[in-house]
Each structure stands twice: as C-alpha cells, then as structure tokens.
Structure 1
Amino acid sequence: MSIGRFRGGFCVYWRQDGKRRRYQLEARTRAEAEPEALDVYRRETLTERRAKDLVKDIWAAYINDLGERPTAKTMHYTGKAILPHFGEYRPDQITTDLCRAYTRSRIKAQKTQGTVHTELGHLRSALRWAVKERIIDKAPTIERPAKPIPKERYLEKQEVAALIGAASAPHIALAIHLLFATAGRVGAILDLTWDRVDFERGVINLRLSDAKTRKGRAIVPMNNSVRAALQTARDAALSDYVIEYAGGPVKSIRKGFENALSRTSLDNVTLHTIRHSAAVAMVSNGIPIEKVGQYLGHSNLAITYQTYARYAPDHLSDAANVLDFAPFRKTL
C-alpha cells in the first residue's frame, strides 16, 4: 500500500491480483492521508483477506511480526504441531470440537497435557494478534486442556552443588552455577556477555538493551562463589559470551545438562527446576516475596506470591492462629 498525489490531493494505491487499484482520499495533508489510507485499504481488501487468511497465513504473519524475538523461534517449532491440524481452516471455522480433537491426537502421540495447553495457547496468541492487527474481526474461543498443577520438585543447595560437580564440561558447570545464583532463565544465561558482568560493583545484568525478549530479566548481585567461578572463566575467555564453547556462543546446554543429571541420583529435574529451586531457597530462608520477585525479574508480584508464598516459613501461620479455639475451651 502506498500514498501518492492525485488531482491536487492524495490517493492510496496498491496492486491486487496483478492489477493496480487506486482510491482518492478526502485528506488535504499527508498526516491526515495516512490513517485514512489505511482505513480505505482495510475496508476494500477485507472480503478478500477473509477468504485467504487461513490460520497458516496468520501464523506466518505473526512470526514475521515477532522478528528476532525468541518467541518467533518457539512459534516456528509449535507450528509443526499446530498447522497440520488447524492450518487450512479460517479462524471463524475453528470450533470447540476441533480443539478437542487436537488435544486427543496430541495426547495419543504421548504429548503431555502441559505441552498441549501451551501449543493451543500459542494458537490463541496468534489469533488475538490478528484481531489487534484488524486482519480478523474476532478471535475464536480456543479450548485448552486444564493447565497441570505446577511440579513441586526443587533442589536443595547440596543437590545443586552435586549437579555442578557432575558436569563434564566447564561451560556446563558454569551455566548451572549461574542459573542458580541468578535465578535466571536459561536463555538469559546463554545471552549473557562479559560487558554485563560488573566485577567492580559486583552485579550481573541479565537484561538485553534491545528488549528482544518479553520475559522479565533482572540485574542481580553476585555472591562469592559465583564471583570466583566467573573470574576463572573470564581469565580463560575466548569470546564476548560468558557461556562459550570452542571460542563461540552456546545455543543449548540441554544435552550437557542431561549428561550431568545421569551422573547423579537426581530425577525429575529440568533446567527450569534450577530457577524454581533458587526462588524456593530465597523464600524459605525468609527473603521477602517482593525481593524475590525483583530477583526473578517478575513485573507482576502477584505471580511471585501465587507461586512461592507457600514456601515462606510463616506463610498463613497468623491465619491458623485466628482459628485456634483452645483458649476458650472449658477446663473439664
């Protein structure tokens, strides 16, 4: 879509099916022409876009809009499951039965309920984006299986130490150490560069200046043990990345992490378990929820309270005391 001059005013024009379409605008200035042109373009092409905009088209457009954000890569992988089932449908054709059929097929393929919940959540996000961009008028209801109850598995500090000791490669050991010491997500740890490690101030900045990720990241202090580990790694560094291998950045530590797990007696542990364990360790040792939320990079403290308040030593104890009727019992 382009805006041009026409008969002393402005017009909007574009090519459609190999033909050039042009409409004169009422606007008298360029500033007025731009929003009017967008309205005309959307109005005139709406019927055709509704006929052509299948879920697969919206999915591709959404990924393109995400650009270099990590979510774009996630959507690409999720699309391998979603698009064979929903791709050829228009959004208005999606029904509850279609969503339930998808859930059944994924469960039959031995995917977890949590995985299906997430995949359908990505479909919902793409369709809501399409509404926001006025590609469609209304997003259909996407029925998802219930979200699984969060796993209670977390590691004690001695278990984290054992896991670090079981790592066969220095970069895996350092990554696990940083995951626990910063309570950061694995993506933040792999993105970390030395210019954001301030030994003088004693802080680690997990944030990216270009805001490529929507997930909250924090600036956290370094404790003595992680300072020593970082200093050793810095002296041997061959690149700008804190977690490096053969002089370059590391895309994934999953294989190395799983190999370390196999050398320990730990089970039901994932990379995210390390972040969860760090949060539990802070809360259970009396660190205020507000500080823990800041450490985790949560923008909404309600999330921190909902997830971790139950681990606080005195959580609900005052409420329990209110319900104590012992002082009112008569002596028999």
Structure 2
Amino acid sequence: MSEWRIKLYRGKYAAVRSVNGATERYSLRTADYAEAQRRLIDFQLQPEGELVRDLMAVYLADKRKTAIRWKDLDGAWKQAEPTFGHLRPDQITRDLCRKYRDMRYAQGRKPATVRKELETVRAGMFFSKSGRAAIFELPPQPKPKERFLTKEEARQLVKAARPFPHIRAFIVLSLTTAARQSALLELTWDRVDFKRGRISLSLGDDLDETRKRRAEVPINRRARLYLEALYRARTCDYVIEWGGHRVLSVKKGFKAACDRAGLEGVTPHILRHSAASWMAMARVPMLDISKYLGHTDIMVTARRYAKVHPDYLRQAADALEW
C-alpha cells in the first residue's frame, strides 16, 4: 500500500494511492494546490472506514440482500455521493443539506426526488452507530396526489389499451385488486385460487417482512373474466406476461394507453388510488378498505380516503344544525 499523494483529476485535486495494484482516489474538491495540501492532511487524519461513502457501502450491501427496490437506493446514492461521500458523518449539517437541495432544484429535480436522495443518505448513516453524528434537513413531504379515475375514465383507458393486452390486463387487475404495481407484476398463477375466488398478493418467501404488506383479496366478476382468459392463453408462470416472459415495467405501454384515451396526469399508481377511492365513495368501511390495501394502520387509510367518503364529517355538520 503506497502513501497518499496529490494528483490532478478532471480539473480538481484528489488524494490518490495504490492498494494491491488498484488505485484508490478521493476528491479533495479544490483546484487550488495549496488548499489541496491542507485538505490532504485533514483527510489523512480521518479514521479508515469512517467516511460517509464507506458507511454507505456497508448499508447498500445489506439492502441488496433484503430490499426489493435496492436499485432505487443505489441510484439515489449515485446522485448524492459527490456531495457527501468524501465527508465524515459529523460534517453533514442542515446547511449542507439545504445546499444540496438547492443544487438539485437548480438541476430541475423535483422535491420528492431530492427528499428520497437525502432519505437514502440518512438511512445509511443511521444504519451504523458511527454515522449518527450526521444532522439532516429534508425537503417537506410532497402532498399526495388527489387525482383518481372516474369509472367512465377507467372504461376509456381499458378500451385504449386493447392493442396492448398485457397493459389492459394490468389496468383491469389493478382496479379490481387495488394492488401495487410491483405486486401485480410479481403475481404468479400458483397464487390465483379460482376455486376459492382469492388472489394472494404476498410472495410467501423470506423477504415478505421487508416488503410493504400485501393482502389476500377476493376475485370479483370482472377480474375473473380477465383472469380466466389470461389463464387459457398463458405461456409462463406470471399472470402479467408478454411474449412468454414476465413484464418488468408497464411504464411505456401505460403512457401510450393514457395518451390514446386522452387522460392526463395518470400514473400506474393512480389505479390503486382510484380503486381505494371508489370503495370509499361506495361507503365501504375504512377498516375493510385498509385490509384490502394491505395497510397495517387504519389511520393511514383514513387520512387518505376518508375525505372522499359521502358521509365524511356529515355527523359533525348535522350537530351544528339549529
């Protein structure tokens, strides 16, 4: 292992050394050589393995074993690493988080995206005791989207998706099961019980505890019609398939169907939101809606959907009659 030395890299100085024939490089984040020398001294005083990038490496390695959407975490850290990676945890401050937020906003990123990136860094630091000296400030949580489909819009969307059978199947099953996109795309035929009239959205494996909870839901009339047709035409184990293979994403096909139907501001997740809203407007009890959605806390359901219930605050309003 060689000693650290200063080397110019892409217009800025970096601390560089050779370890077992491989080069390690950490940016000193300055183009001034004298300042780089001072920063190199500070850098060498830091304990090995205590930089933010080292702690994040441990956290992400663990998440690759347990998290379904670990690639999202990797992507978030890829954006945040140039700002935070070379620091010690105690050098992460509210002011630095604000600077990062403003920089990402200037790059055109949405508050929800920036919040997710900072949440990823925060989770990585709190994963280790040595990372808990970091202090974070996150952009405010974005307001939930209020958009949901009317049943007429849903019929238009299904009709527009006829050229894309897998997209049409996804739309219908989303609206009849209120399942999350990931749960439907992972659904296999062994968890569709036509005899009992039930669909188990849970995978039933060792990772179930790390996922958002998934429910077992009844098969209604419309869902059964589509499922029976899909079962007769099946060419693989997955319910949502295309060309004999599991569908990994419906993003492009779903957008094409929305464009054909003339619907704006509609995403795949809005189908789940629409299904829950329809149940609330039909006066389905909040507890039943909560179980259908797989929520672990009925208050989560009530905060989102109670306001579309026809009787929302009606008793309170009636009490004010005089």
Structure 1 pair 273–49 and aligned structure 2 pair: CA distance change class (3 A): farther
Distance 1:203 1:130, change over 3 A: same
| Corresponding position of 2:170 | 175
Task: Provide the aligned length of Structure 1 versus Structure 2.
Answer: 276
CA distance in 2, matches of 1:129, 1:263: 46
* Range moving further from structure 2, 142-151 or 93-102: 142-151
What whole-Å deviation, never above 9, does each CA across 1:13-59 have from its counterpart, x for those lacking one?
xxxx99xxxxxxxxxxxxxxxxxxxxxxxxxxxxx995423222222
Residue in 1 that maps onto 2:104: 106
Q: Is residue 217 from structure 1 mapped to residue 214 from structure 2 by the alignment?
A: yes
Q: Are residue 129 (structure 1) and residue 127 (structure 2) matched?
A: yes
- Deviation sequence 1:69-107 (CA, Å, 0-9, x none): 213122012122121221111211101111001111111
Q: What corresponds to 1:307 in structure 2?
A: 304
For 2:196, the equivalent position in structure 1 comes to: 201
Look up the equivalent residue of 1:295 and give its one-letter code: Y
> Who is 2:135 aligned against?
141
| Among candidates 318, 323, 326, match of residue 320 of structure 2 | 323
Equivalent residue number for residue 225 of structure 2 = 228
Distance in 2, Cα, partners of 1:240 & 1:233: 11
2:160 aligned to which of 153, 159, 166 = 166
Q: Determine if contact 2:90/2:135 at 8 Å carries over to the other structure.
A: no
Name the structure 2 match of 1:116. Answer: 114
From 253, 256, 264, give the equivalent of 1:259.
256
The C-alpha deviation readout for 1:280-317, integer Å capped at 9, x for no partner, is 00011100000001000001111111111111111111
Look up the match of 1:292.
Answer: 289
Matched, 1:188 2:186: no
Supply the distance in 2 between the matched residues of 1:321 and 1:196 (Cα, whole angstroms): 46
Q: CA deviation at 1:137?
A: 5.9
What SS is found at the alignment partner of 2:199?
A: strand
How far the C-alpha of 1:180 sits from its partner, in A, is 1.1
1:79 aligned partner, one-letter code: W
Q: Secondary structure at the match of 1:263?
A: helix
Given the superposition, is the C-alpha separation of residues 116 and 73 from structure 1 closer, same or farther in structure 2, using an over 3 Å criterion?
same
Contact map agreement 2:176 2:275 (CA 8 A) in 1: yes
- 1: CA distance between counterparts of 2:270 and 2:312? 22
After the TM superposition, which of the residue ranges 181-190 and 75-84 deviates more from structure 2? 75-84
Q: Distance in 2 between matches of 1:104 and 1:79?
A: 17
Letter in 2 for 1:54: L
2-structure distance, mates of 1:311, 1:127: 39
Matched AA of 1:56: R
- Is the contact between residue 89 and residue 131 of structure 2 (CA under 8 Å) also seen in structure 1? no
**Unpaired stretches in structure 1, ≥5 consecutive residues:** 1-16, 19-47, 327-332
Question: What stretches of structure 2 of length at least 5 have no aligned partner?
Answer: 1-18, 21-44
Structure 1 residue 108, shift from structure 2 partner: 0.9
- The answer to whether residue 84 in structure 2 is matched with residue 86 in structure 1 is yes
Separation in 1, partners of 2:188, 2:55: 35
Q: Which moved more, 1:267-276 or 1:71-80?
A: 71-80
Q: CA deviation at 1:271?
A: 1.1
Please give the secondary structure, in 2, of the residue aligned with 1:52: coil
- Percent identical: 41
Give, as a single letter, the amino acid of the residue that structure 2 aligns with 1:195.
Answer: D
Q: Secondary structure of the equivalent of 1:315?
A: coil
Tell me what 1:58 maps to.
Answer: 55
Tell me, in whole angstroms, the C-alpha distance in 1 between the residues paired with 2:79 and 2:194.
45
Separation of aligned partners in 2, 1:127 and 1:158: 48
Structure 1 residues 181-207: Cα deviation after superposition (integer angstroms, max 9, x where no partner): 111110000000000000001111100
